[in-house]
Amino acid sequence: MESLDLRVLADALAWRRAGHAVTLVTVVETWGSAPRPPGALLAVRADGVVSGSVSGGCIEDDLIAQTKAAFHERGASQAQLPERPSMLAYGVSKEEAARFGLPCGGTLRLVREPLVDTDWVEAVLDRTARHELVARQLTLATGAVRLTTATRGQAMHFDGSVLSCMFGPRWRLLLIGAGQLSQAVAQIAQMLDFEVLVCDPREEYAAALRMPGVQRVMGMPDDVVKALVPDAHTAIVALTHDPKLDDMALLEALVSGAFYVGALGSRRNQETRKKRLAEHFDLTPGMLARLHGPVGLSIGAKTPAEIAVSVMAQIIQVKNAAPAVQPVPAHALCLPDHPPS
């Protein structure tokens, strides 16, 4: 369900539309210290160009060589591709594991399939762009593909005859505020392949937001959060230090389906904010407990860039359900022009 796999599908679709033959390879089982998890996807073009990964590189080299050799023998025509998916295994023996660079005797089982019908690829990309979770079922005996609605937490499954893989929307991050810290968080979030949206009705701040790939969302923060319809792939972080903007956005975020809600500020500010939200907006203790504040992991962050690292680290921690770490100390959570209250 990594968005990397969606990029692989997008590349594969573009290649097919350009007339190239394409083979898809999916990791279905791993043992030992295999580099890529089950579900990881690789697309190999007839001329050896690849997108994605199923290992650290050596297996890709072998797959490229096999693909180029097969298409060379057949004349690289899509019509001459094998019609059925097939199974591949790497690293079965210690010697083969060493040959292909699989550490600690790691082993991979792969499903290789020709990409002939692209309708399902278009459907997956369209549905995930609308923030849907999609399950794709591939029947190896026939090569038939069926798409169904998936649920969060649903895992890849392979019983030897049917392969079920999940595809989900890109993780997205809504930042309330367009200041220096927001820009640093946005940069790191983009590196982590998050879709980044920024809302700040203050023109003097928003005017400085000129970052390729970052979308500015117009309107008041609470209206923007409500219109976004946050889901389990959405994180929301309030960074303006202005209760008039942050609190209303947090109010909508805490009752939404967002997997992460955070707010900048000292511990004292956070306690005051939670009290204010509880008294004036009737938020329950359970709703308020969802608020990460002070925002970020405790790494002694002081500069905007360091705080941005701590914020995104905590978002990734929650996203991956990793063990909890103590939040950032209060003194490290305010920019120089916003002294602690």
Give the CB-side neighbour count of residue 39, counting CA atoms within 13 A: 19
Strand ranges across the sheet with 162-167: 145-149, 134-139, 162-167, 157-158
- Cis ω before 294 (30° cut-off from 0): yes
Residues 270 and 294 in one domain: yes
187 belongs to a structural domain = yes
Any idea which residue has 């940069």 for tokens? 187
The Cα-based distances of 123 to 144, 165, 168, 246, 334 in angstroms read 15, 14, 12, 37, 45
pLDDT exceeding 70 applies to what percent of the chain?
Answer: 83
Select the more confidently predicted residue: 226 or 330.
226
Which residues, 6+ apart, have CB-to-CB distance to 205 below 8 Å?
177, 178, 179
Last residue of a domain, one of 167, 188, 205: 167
Q: How far is CA 38 from the centre of its chain?
A: 16
Residues 154 and 203 in one domain: no
340 belongs to a structural domain = no
How high is the pLDDT of residue 324? 58
Tell me the pLDDT tens digit for each residue of 62-101. 888 888 887 766 554 444 455 689 998 887 555 655 565 5
338 belongs to a structural domain = no
Last residue of a domain, one of 167, 197, 224: 167
Query: Is the whole-model pTM more than 0.85?
Result: no
The Cα-based distances of 255 to 126, 200, 243, 277, 287 in angstroms read 27, 21, 18, 12, 7
Last residue of a domain, one of 139, 167, 195: 167
Residues 58 and 186 in one domain: no
Residues 284 and 190 in one domain: yes
Residues 163 and 229 in one domain: no
Please, what is the Cα angle at 133 between 257 and 322, to 5 degrees?
60
85 close to 143: Cβ distance less than 8 angstroms: yes
Domain count, the chain: 2
323 belongs to a structural domain = yes
Phi, psi of 324 (to 5 degrees): -70, 150
Question: E-strand spans in 101-241?
Answer: 107-114, 134-139, 145-149, 157-158, 162-167, 172-176, 195-199, 214-216, 234-238
Residues 273 and 312 in one domain: yes
Q: How many whole angstroms separate alpha carbon 9 and alpha carbon 118?
A: 10
154 belongs to a structural domain = yes
Any idea which residue has 């709703």 for tokens? 287
339 belongs to a structural domain = no
| Residue type (1 letter), 279 | E
Please, what is the Cα angle at 212 between 177 and 5, to 5 degrees?
100
337 belongs to a structural domain = no
CB atoms closer than 10 angstroms to residue 325: 14
How high is the pLDDT of residue 38? 86
Residues 10 and 107 in one domain: yes
* DSSP helix/strand/coil, 199: strand
Q: How many whole angstroms separate alpha carbon 239 and alpha carbon 262?
A: 9
Residue 265 — very low, low, confident or very high, per pLDDT cuts 50/70/90? confident
Residues 187 and 227 in one domain: yes
Has residue 214 got a pLDDT over 50?
Answer: yes
The enclosing domain of 305 has a CATH number of 3.40.50.720
179 belongs to a structural domain = yes
Residues 221 and 250 in one domain: yes
CB atoms closer than 10 angstroms to residue 323: 5
Residues 249 and 234 in one domain: yes
Residues 183 and 139 in one domain: no
The Cα-based distances of 34 to 39, 58, 163 in angstroms read 13, 12, 19
Round the average pLDDT of the chain to a whole number and report it.
Answer: 84
- Residue range(s) defining the domain that contains residue 106: 3-167
The Cα-based distances of 303 to 185, 198, 206, 306, 331 in angstroms read 12, 21, 21, 5, 11
Tell me the pLDDT tens digit for each residue of 108-140. 889 999 999 999 999 999 999 888 899 999 999
Residues 163 and 179 in one domain: no
Any idea which residue has 């916003």 for tokens? 338
Tell me the pLDDT tens digit for each residue of 155-192. 889 999 999 999 988 899 999 999 999 999 999 999 99
